[in-house]
């Protein structure tokens, strides 16, 4: 089983959606979209249904 895939995009009025990150519970780290990095966005998975998105300033 591959596990659950979590994808985060931003939706800003009058703009195209932007890909922020993609994370699977079996991965060691997320895949980041252009302009997004681990210094600001990260994700963890406690299980295949329990994900946490952490955004820092």
Q: Which residues contact 42 (CB under 8 A, 6 or more apart)?
A: 30, 53, 54
The token pair at 22 is: 């993609």
Q: Which residue has the tokens 């659950």?
A: 4
Domain chopping of the chain, boundaries: 5-55
pLDDT tens, residue by residue, 5-57: 778 888 888 989 999 888 877 777 888 889 888 888 887 878 777 888 888 88
Question: Would you say 29 and 7 are in contact if contact means Cβ atoms under 8 Å apart?
Answer: no
pLDDT band at 3 (very low <50, low <70, confident <90, very high): low
pLDDT at 2: 60
pLDDT band at 1 (very low <50, low <70, confident <90, very high): very low
pLDDT at 4: 75
Q: Read off the pTM.
A: 0.62
């Amino acid at each position: 089983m591959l596990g659950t895939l979590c994808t985060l995009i931003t939706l800003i009025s009058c703009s195209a959606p932007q890909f922020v990150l993609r994370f699977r519970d079996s991965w060691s780290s997320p895949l980041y979209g252009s302009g997004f990095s681990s210094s600001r966005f990260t994700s963890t998975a406690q299980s295949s249904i329990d994900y946490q998105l952490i955004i820092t300033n």
